[in-house]
Amino acid sequence: MNELNVFVSVGGTATEQQEAFVRAVEDRLRSEGLIPHTVGRNTFSADAPLRTVTELLAKCSGTVVIALERQYFASGAEKRGGPKELALTDIKLPTPWNQIEAAMAYTRGHPLLVIVENGIKSEGLLERGNDWYVQWVKPEVAALNSAEFNGVLASWKQQMIQSPKKAALPKTPSDLTVGELIGGLKPTQLWSILVALAALVAGAFALGGKLFGG
């Protein structure tokens, strides 16, 4: 099988343990014939981050989300000051880019492989019940050898093989040439436009005759 490009959503690591885990995931992907790409880690661009992510996703066949602890709060409150205020303790949050990039990948139809560190706040696209399976793991190399991880990885990889590579994002009308615009029209649409243009030209000549006629 030819190698497939995969997008990896992961924030900058904070500890040696996190870095070792991310590298282990990358190595495992490469051993499966998959090439990992992460903005700011092994892919760099002078463009704005969202543009770079969009362009990179267009070149990839699937996405891996690795959600690791970025922020920690010993205590806090949810809906503070309201009647439904809830006390929170030991809150661990990942980089918000996990949520952003996962959403962008999903809208492109990418199969998602979601790996979340134990204890991370379960919310948004990192909670179970969506169109993909969420694996909660301890960020250790050994977690990549479990029957669960091997099974989910194999299933996700098969989805990429069976799904055709997603095309680049469609152009907006302002990005298209006249030829591309015309070529994308149905015959009935093109005929309607030609009739309207003919009527417009005829009206312009008639108006010109009244204004400048003797």
Evaluate whether residue 186 is within a structural domain. yes
Domain hosting 183: range is: 173-212
Pair of tokens at residue 157: 């990889």
pLDDT for the residue 130: 84
Evaluate whether residue 168 is within a structural domain. no
Q: Which of 141, 162, 183 is a domain's end point? A: 162
Angle at alpha carbon of residue 17, lines to 154 and 89, rounded to 5°: 95
Within 10 Å of residue 193's Cβ, how many Cβ atoms? 13
pLDDT for the residue 194: 63
Pair of tokens at residue 42: 């092994």
Eight-class DSSP state of 120: B
pLDDT for the residue 173: 47
Q: Which residue matches tokens 């892919």?
A: 43
Residues 37, 126 share a domain: yes
Contact 22, 13 (CB under 8 A): yes
* Domain of residue 120, CATH code: 3.40.50.2300
Residues 120, 205 share a domain: no
Residues 187, 154 share a domain: no
Residues 180, 87 share a domain: no
Quote the number of domains for the chain: 2
> Any bridge partners for residue 5, and if so which?
35
Per-residue pLDDT of the chain (214 residues; tens, 9 = 90+): 468 999 999 999 999 999 999 999 999 999 999 999 999 898 888 888 899 999 999 999 999 999 999 999 999 999 999 999 999 999 999 999 999 999 999 999 999 999 999 999 999 999 888 888 999 999 999 999 999 999 999 999 999 998 755 433 444 444 445 554 455 555 555 555 565 666 655 655 555 555 555 5
Residues 155, 192 share a domain: no
pLDDT for the residue 168: 39
pLDDT for the residue 3: 85
Residues 188, 96 share a domain: no
pLDDT for the residue 203: 58
